[in-house]
Structure formats: C-alpha cells, structure tokens
C-alpha cells in the first residue's frame, strides 16, 4: 500500500514538473528566439554598415585617383598656357620683323626706282645726243688727257648706275626671301598656336569632367556616410534591446535552473528512498560527430577548456530530467542553440568538425565533466556564473 501511494506521488510530481517545464521552455524559447533574431539583425546591420564603409573607401580611392588626374591636367594646362604665351611673343616678334622687312623693302624700292630713273635719263641722254655728246666733250676738253678723263668719267657713271641697280635688286631679293621666311615661320607659329588652343580646350573639358566626377563622388560619400550614421543609430538601439533580452533570458534561465535544481533534489531524495542509482548516460552512435560539430560552432575559437565546458553543458542536460535524454534531442531542442537555427551547425556537421573539437567531444562522452552548468552564453557582464574565455556558464 505504501509503495502504491509512493508511486502515485512520484507520478503526480513528475506530471507537475513536466507541465512547469513546458511553461518555462515556451517562455525561454520565446526570449531565445528574440535574442537570435536580434543577433541576426545586428549582424545584418553590421554587414550593411561594413559594405557602406567599403563603398566609402572605394569612393575615396576613386576620388583620390581623380584628384591625381586633375592635378596632372592642371599641370598640363599650365604648360600649354605657358607655351601659348611664348608663341604669342614669338608671333608678335615675327610680326615686328615682318613689318621692319616691309619697311626696308619699301625704302629700297623707292631708292631702286630713283636710281633706275636716273640711269634711264642718263642713258636716254647718251643715246639721244649720240656723237654730239662726244664732240662736245672733245671740244670742251683742254687736252687729249682731259678728253680721255671725261670719257672715262661718263663710262664710270654708267657702270656705277648698273652696279647700284644690280645691288639694289639683289638686296630687294634677299629681303623678300627673308620676309617670306619670316612669314612662313609666323604661319608655323600660328598653326602651332591653333593646335595649342585646341589642346587647351580639350584639357579644360577634361578638367571640368574630372571636377564633376569628384563632386559626384563627394555626394555619394556623403550619402553613404548618412546611411552609416543611420546604421549606427539602429545598431545602438538593437544592442540596447539585445542587452535587455540578455537580462530577461538570464532571469528566465535562473528561474528555470532553480526549478530544475529543486526537481533534481526531489528526484535524488526519491531515489535515495528507493535506494536506486542514477542512470548512466550511454552515448549513441553518431553522438560524437553531433557534439563535436556543436562544440566547433559554439566554441571553435575558444580554448580547449572552453570546448570541454560546452560539451559538459550538453551532457549535463542529457543527464537532467528537464531536458531530452539524448545528445541529439538536447542539440535539436527548439530555441536552445542558435547555430542549429541558423543552419551553421548543419554545415559543420556535413563537412566534419576539427580534430580538437572531436577530441573534446570524445572526452566528454567518455564521462569527463569540467563544469556542472546547464547553460552558457556570450559573456556580456550581465549574467553571473563561471567565465571561461568569452562565455559565462551557469
């Protein structure tokens, strides 16, 4: 009779604990889901912010290249302007030299024409007077020597006229050639000046284009920075919300943990009363791969001590009546491990965990426990417990 009453009491207690456990699990899972969603939101915002920062860096590099090109164009424009100034001076100099040549040509032309007219008059006089001129020279001469001198003088004047006329003509030809050469040089300078003006226009167009692009890059940088500011504001809000959820989750976990401990004490007393030993956890096939994959997801970057602690939490849950009694059940319990929900766990499980994580899983499955906690979270200073690496165990 006493045994029947005891069995009924145990069944009622277990039913009450199961019902309370369902309530705690549902409540905790809701907060856990919110935490996972908030964490995913924060990661997404951080990625978007990083993308915008990368975009700003790319735009800054692009703007820097444009500024370098703009400086080169400014230097080229300065060289072109200097060349144009030099060409203008040369053209002005050639215009002056051409004007001087034209003036010299004009003056020589006048002298040449006067010389030619004088020569024509003397020749005309000689031909019109013929021998009379020579007779006059003969009769007027005082002696034969005087006659010869007068004849030689007339011939000398004629020769002089021809020589001077020829000299004038040669000079006119030389000056004309020089003028033509000057005009050719001026034409070449003018053509070069026209080319330089065209080049100057092209460079000015390129400069305007570079400045426009730099202005557009500045606007894009400003817009991207505005978006980054918005992301930072939203990140600040989400992180504050995450901290609130962490506190709420800690309170829920603490309440659930207290209830689990209470139930564990009750079970312990009942088992002592029945003089039974606690059941030993026997790993199933494939548990080592599952546990190793979870350890890598949750503590892959932690110390070996941290890996053992994560594995210990899983096995502590398997041993507890408030959690599933298998490794696969604990790992896949809804809302408990975020890598399972995100799909990362499946990826690691598919490719296989690292050798260190596999070794830690095997030690824990073989019975090694380094901590008696049932929970662990990223250590933010909110939850009290045993801190190992970046995690707090409680």
Instruction: Say if CB 311 and CB 300 are below 8 A apart.
Output: no
pLDDT of residue 387: 94
The pTM of this model reads 0.50
pLDDT of residue 6: 34
The rounded distance, in Å, linking the Cα atoms of 161 and 172 is 16
Q: Could you count the other beta carbons within 10 Å of the beta carbon of residue 90?
A: 17
Task: Give per-residue burial for 346-370: e unless 16+ CB within 10 Å, then b.
Answer: eebbeeebbeebbbbbbbbbeeebb
**Collapsing DSSP states into helix, strand and coil, what is residue 365?**
helix
Please say whether the dihedral angle defined by the alpha carbons of residues 287, 293, 299 and 300, taken in this order, is positive or negative. Answer: positive
The 3-state secondary structure of 294-310 reads HHHHHHCCCCHHHHHHH
Strand partners, 386: 393
263-317: pLDDT as tens digits? 667 766 665 655 444 456 777 888 999 999 999 999 999 999 999 999 999 999 9
pLDDT of residue 9: 36
Instruction: Say if CB 37 and CB 249 are below 8 A apart.
Output: no
pLDDT of residue 5: 34
Q: Could you count the other beta carbons within 10 Å of the beta carbon of residue 314?
A: 26
Return the axis-axis angle of helices 287-299 and 304-319, rounded to nearest 10°: 130
Q: Report in angstroms the alpha-carbon separations of 336 from 31, 294, 368.
A: 10, 12, 22
11-60: pLDDT as tens digits? 333 333 333 333 333 344 577 778 778 888 888 989 998 998 998 999 99
pLDDT of residue 385: 87
pLDDT of residue 104: 80
Mean pLDDT in each 10-residue stretch from start to end of the chain (394 residues)?
37 35 43 81 90 91 90 89 86 85 77 69 58 53 56 65 71 79 85 87 91 92 92 90 82 76 67 53 85 94 95 93 91 89 91 94 94 88 86 91
Domains and CATH numbers, the chain: 279-394 (1.10.10.2520)
Q: For 109, how many CA atoms within 13 A lie in the half-sphere containing its CB?
A: 9
pLDDT of residue 271: 57
> 386-388 and 391-393: which strand pairing?
antiparallel
With 0-12 CB in 10 A as exposed, 13-18 as middle and 19+ as buried, what is 386? Answer: middle
Could you give the percent of the chain with pLDDT greater than 70? 75
Task: Compute φ and ψ for 92, nearest 5 degrees.
Answer: -60, -40
Q: Report in angstroms the alpha-carbon separations of 44 from 50, 235, 357.
A: 10, 10, 28
Instruction: Say if CB 44 and CB 157 are below 8 A apart.
Output: no
Give the contacts of 203 (CB within 8 A, at least 6 positions apart): 73, 76, 77, 80
Question: How many helical (H) and strand (E) elements, i.e. helices and strands, does the chain have?
Answer: 8, 3
DSSP state of 270: H
pLDDT of residue 122: 64
């Amino acid at each position: 009779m006493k045994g029947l009453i005891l069995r009924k009491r145990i069944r009622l207690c277990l039913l009450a604990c199961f019902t309370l456990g369902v309530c705690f699990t549902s409540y905790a899972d809701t907060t856990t889901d919110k935490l996972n969603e908030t964490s995913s939101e924060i990661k997404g915002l951080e990625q978007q912010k990083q993308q915008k920062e990368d975009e700003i860096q790319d735009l800054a590099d692009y703007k820097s290249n444009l500024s370098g090109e703009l400086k080169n164009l400014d230097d080229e424009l300065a060289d072109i302007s200097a060349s144009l100034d030099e060409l203008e001076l040369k053209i002005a100099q050639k215009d002056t030299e051409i004007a001087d040549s034209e003036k010299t040509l004009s003056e020589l032309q006048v002298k040449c024409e006067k010389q030619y007219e004088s020569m024509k008059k003397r020749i005309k006089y000689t031909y019109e007077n013929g021998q009379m001129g020579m007779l006059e020279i003969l009769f007027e001469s005082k002696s034969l020597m005087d006659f010869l001198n007068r004849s030689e003088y007339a011939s000398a004047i004629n020769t002089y006229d021809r020589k001077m006329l020829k000299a004038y003509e040669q000079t006119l030809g030389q000056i004309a050639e020089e003028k033509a050469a000057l005009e050719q040089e001026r034409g070449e300078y003018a053509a070069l000046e026209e080319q330089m003006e065209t080049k100057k226009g092209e460079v000015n167009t390129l400069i305007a284009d570079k400045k426009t692009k730099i202005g557009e890059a500045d606007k894009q940088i400003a817009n991207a920075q505005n978006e980054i500011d918005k992301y930072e504001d939203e990140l600040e809000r989400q992180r504050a919300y995450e901290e609130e959820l962490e506190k709420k989750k800690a309170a829920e976990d603490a309440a659930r943990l207290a209830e689990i401990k209470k139930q564990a004490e009750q079970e312990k007393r009942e088992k002592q009363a029945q003089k039974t030993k606690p059941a030993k956890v026997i790993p199933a096939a494939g548990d080592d791969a599952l546990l190793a994959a979870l350890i890598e997801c949750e503590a892959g970057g932690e110390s070996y001590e941290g890996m053992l602690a994560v594995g210990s939490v899983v096995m502590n849950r398997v041993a507890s009546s408030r959690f599933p009694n298998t490794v696969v059940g604990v790992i896949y319990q809804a809302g408990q491990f975020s890598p399972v929900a995100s799909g990362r766990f499946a990826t690691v499980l598919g490719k296989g965990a690292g050798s260190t994580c596999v070794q830690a899983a095997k030690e824990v499955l073989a019975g090694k426990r380094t901590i008696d906690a049932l929970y662990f979270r990223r250590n933010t200073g909110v939850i009290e417990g045993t801190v190992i690496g970046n995690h707090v165990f409680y």
